[in-house]
Each structure stands twice: as C-alpha cells, then as structure tokens.
Copies of this chain bind each other. A is one copy, B any other.
Amino acid sequence: MIRRGFQAVIRLGHHRVLPGAPHVLPRLNRTSAFGSSTDSLVSRFCLEKTDLKDYALPNASWCPDMLNLYQEFLEKTKTDGWIKLPSFKSNRDHIQGLKLPFGLAATSDKSDWRIFTRCLQVEGQGYEYVIFFHPSKKKSICLFQPGPYLEGAPGFAHGGSLATMMDETFSKTAYLAGEGLFTLSLNIRFKNLIPVGSLAVLNVDVEKIEDQKLYMSCIAQSRDQQRVYAKSSGVFLQLQLEEELSQ
C-alpha cells in the first residue's frame, strides 16, 4: 500500500526527514543518481546471461520497415554507443534483486503477472516493440508496431496504446538515464492515427534532470518522418531502487 502521493514523496525527498518513519525515506544518492551511474544501471538491466525470454526480438509478424530499422540500430550497437534493451514479461524480472522504496512491493504472491506492454502473447496480435537506448546522449528510440488487438478506430491503433508505449519508453529511459521510477505527468498531442500493422518510430529525449524529476519529450512518426503521429512530454520522479538485504 502507498501511504502518500507522489508529490508528497518529492517533498520528503527534499527534506530527507519523515517524522516517525525514517526507514521509508527515499534515500536519494545524488552522486549515483546522475550520469556516472548510468553505465552500472545499464549493465544491471541488460543481463548477459539469463534464461528469461526476451520479447524484443524479431518475429514473423514484424513488417519490413520494422525489421530493416531494427537491423540498422543493431549495427549501431556495435559502433555508435546504442544499446538494445531486453524486454521481459514482467518488470519483476527487470528489477530482480532490487526492491521498490516505500514498501511498494506487491503484497500478493500470484505468479502470473505481465507488464501491460507484453500482455498479449500471440506474435503480432498486440504490442511488437523494441527499445534502443543511448547512455551518453540520454535518448531512446522505440520501434512500435501495433497489432489488431490494439485497435481504437477501425483499422487504427487506440490512442491509449500509443500513450502506453510512450509511457513505457519514457519509463525505461528515465530509469536508465537517472533512476526515474514513477510517471508524474504525461501530456500528449495526437496528430494522425497509426494504421494497425505499420511501424511508428518513437524518439525520446531526456530534456533535463532537475529537482528530483526527469523531464522528457517524445515524437512518434513514420519511418520517413513525413507523418507525425503524436508528440508528448513526460515527467518522472527520481527515486533509487534499493538493494534487497540478503537473507
């Protein structure tokens, strides 16, 4: 259970004092929260050896545009500092060995959880996406192909499915670029509908990190940049995930 809203969390972060409950404070370490920690966050996030299935890999449902651009960015991971992020079925897998601050750990022990963007398991039916992250530039590219179960207007992706993809790309970028954990705000201006089965390219930039918040922007457009689907901004709260105590 959460005892207070996000804004109260920020205030607590500033004062670093919570009367009567000092152990649930956001223990923000400003040294590790900026720049220098990105490499260690990335190496923790991108496990070299794991049995977990990575859903951000090409499959038969990917359209040619998506496959081609994926290959282009995969080349850039070898020469240009880009990193392909793995995508597991739950954020629980991404934060193994860490715990959320404030006792936010789930109280239920149900075993079948899924991150919303991997909720559909049939290839091509729902979300197909892969995120590439550039640590030193603090930017991300998300290749997103919405399937027929993400429909809004007939034949087009639901506005909420794009909002979710933006929030999720912001989320992973915010965490790796500066331990941003929670969405505080999300503002989207929609320009054109995305046809189901086609590629939308999301360009995300961290604009600034200030006052325990990460400010990000996103533009979603067609591969040739001739059609803008939407523009958005997002603000994330910066909080450190704590190491689990070994038993």
* Chain A residues at the B interface, C-beta cutoff of 8 Å: 1-2, 5-7, 90-92, 95, 100, 104-108, 110, 112-117, 119-120, 126, 148-161, 163-168, 171, 181-193, 195-197, 228
Contacts and interface: CB of A to CB of B under 8 A. Distances in A.
Nearest to A191: B5
A163 B171 CA distance: 14
A100 B153 contact: yes
Contacts of A167: 158-160, 163
Contacts of A187: 185-188
Contact of A152 (B171, B186, B195): B171
Interface of A is mostly: mixed
B105 A154 contact: yes
A182 B193 CA distance: 9
Count of chain copies = 2
Nearest to A157: B116
Contact of A160 (B6, B7, B117): B117
B149 A119 contact: yes
A9 to B, nearest CB: 10
A157 B183 CA distance: 12
B154 A183 contact: no
Minimum-distance CB pairs A-B, first 4: A106-B155, A160-B164, A116-B158, A119-B149
20 contacts: A2-B192, A5-B191, A6-B190, A7-B191, A100-B153, A108-B197, A113-B151, A116-B149, A116-B151, A119-B119, A152-B171, A159-B186, A160-B166, A160-B167, A163-B163, A163-B186, A182-B190, A185-B189, A186-B188, A187-B188
A199 B115 CA distance: 19
A157 B182 CA distance: 12
Nearest to A161: B116
